Amino acid sequence: MMRNFIFWLSSKKAVTSTIAERGMRYGFARRFVAGESLDEALTASAALGRESRRVSLNYLGENVHSAEEARRVRASYVEMLQGLERSGIDGNISIKLTQLGLDIDRDLCLSLAGEIAAQAGALHRDIEMDMEGSAYVDATRNVFEATRRKHDNVGLAVQAYLYRTEKDIERLAPLHPKLGLVKGAYREPVKTAWQKKSEVDANYRRLIDLLLEGRFYPAIATHDPAMQEHALGRLRERGMPPTAYEFQMIYGIRRDLQESIHQGGHTLRIYVPFGTDWCPYFMRRLSERPANCVFVLRSLVAETFRPARNANR
């Protein structure tokens, strides 16, 4: 119920503009968002690099409405790759195909994705495609397949809450790609996706087993200790070396688990989101864990009642 309430709130302009206006100024959004600029994201990534985490830079923003905008986003993605290279950071970028015009011109989207993959390849880096709402899964998979056939440095996220994902994974197996297994972050109808946590978790475990069969480079992208335990058990059984898989978690979430995965000698990649359009992303993170709202409210109350500094000057 709380989750639905937060989704509802996120559709209210008055709420989101208050949060957007205050989040960075008061600092509460910084818990989950590395900043509004690429420089801030690189600074956060360099700090993670000093703790031996790899990163994936995630430029926040969703659908674009013109080819011009899509080309601008492509340029931003290339700048992100160059920024990582310039700063000597061990990392890649994750891209959203709706930011590259998936809605308006699929051929354009495919060609921009190919250009980004080629630029990344020239820098010996890789890219990962995010999976968005279910209306985009076919198109995203198709663009991924076509791009992956030409560029071996491209990975894709797949969502355990969708009934179809097992079939999609089987279909992608001949490409031997990197696949990141996530639970899924959007609201999907019952005809498309499992609704109960127990059902999503059961499918997540099944799909981990599938991804660890040796046909993929799997990325286990979750903060759920039970899912991680399941994966760790399977990795032990199979004796897989840390070069054959990675764990992924999101900036600011379950830093305790991030540390224990790292201490266990596993490769860990942190998703580092940044950008001016951070509010919808931030609301999604709140909806995943209502306790996060308490943290935000506490920051707002503290700020509201804090005596003005230098009031006497």
Ligand X SMILES: Cc1cc2nc3c(=O)[nH]c(=O)nc-3n(C[C@H](O)[C@H](O)[C@H](O)COP(=O)(O)OP(=O)(O)OC[C@H]3O[C@@H](n4cnc5c(N)ncnc54)[C@H](O)[C@@H]3O)c2cc1C
> Would you call 221 helix, strand, or coil by DSSP?
strand
At its nearest, how many Å lie between ligand X and the CB of residue 219?
A: 7
Report how far residue 275's alpha carbon sits from residue 256's, in angstroms, rounded to the nearest whole number: 25
Q: Contact with ligand X (CB under 6 A): which of 48, 157, 179, 279?
A: 157
At its nearest, how many Å lie between ligand X and the CB of residue 248?
A: 4
At its nearest, how many Å lie between ligand X and the CB of residue 183?
A: 4
Report how far residue 304's alpha carbon sits from residue 59's, in angstroms, rounded to the nearest whole number: 30
| Residue number, 67 or 139, with CB nearest to ligand X | 139
Angle at 131 between CA 170 and CA 153, to 5 degrees: 70
Q: Contact with ligand X (CB under 6 A): which of 83, 177, 184, 275?
A: 184
At its nearest, how many Å lie between ligand X and the CB of residue 129?
A: 8
DSSP string for residues in 14-83:
HHHHHHHHHHHHHSGGGGT---SSHHHHHHHHHHHHHTT-EEEEEE------SHHHHHHHHHHHHHHHHH
Q: Contact with ligand X (CB under 6 A): which of 70, 113, 249, 296?
A: 249
Q: Contact with ligand X (CB under 6 A): which of 151, 164, 206, 254?
A: 254
Residues numbered 126-155 forming contacts with ligand X, rule: CB under 6 A: 130-131
C-beta separation of 81 from 128 below 8 A: no
| Binding of ligand X by 99 (CB under 6 A) | no
C-beta separation of 286 from 297 below 8 A: no
Q: Among 283, 61, 252, 113, which Cα is nearest to 186's?
A: 283
Q: Point out which residues pair with 58 in neighbouring strands.
A: 94, 273
| Residue number, 110 or 286, with CB nearest to ligand X | 286
Residue 216 tokens read as 């993929």
Choose one: 36-44, 67-75, 217-225, 238-246; the region binding ligand X (CB under 6 A).
217-225
Element (H, E) at 154: strand 154-159
| Residue number, 33 or 70, with CB nearest to ligand X | 33
| Binding of ligand X by 250 (CB under 6 A) | yes
| Binding of ligand X by 203 (CB under 6 A) | no
At its nearest, how many Å lie between ligand X and the CB of residue 104?
A: 21
> Would you call 291 helix, strand, or coil by DSSP?
helix
- Burial of 150 from C-beta contacts in 10 A (0-12 / 13-18 / 19+): exposed
Residues numbered 277-296 forming contacts with ligand X, rule: CB under 6 A: 285, 288-289, 292
| Residue number, 66 or 142, with CB nearest to ligand X | 142
Binding residues for ligand X (CB under 6 A): 130-131, 157, 159, 180, 182-186, 197, 221-224, 248-250, 253-254, 271, 285, 288-289, 292
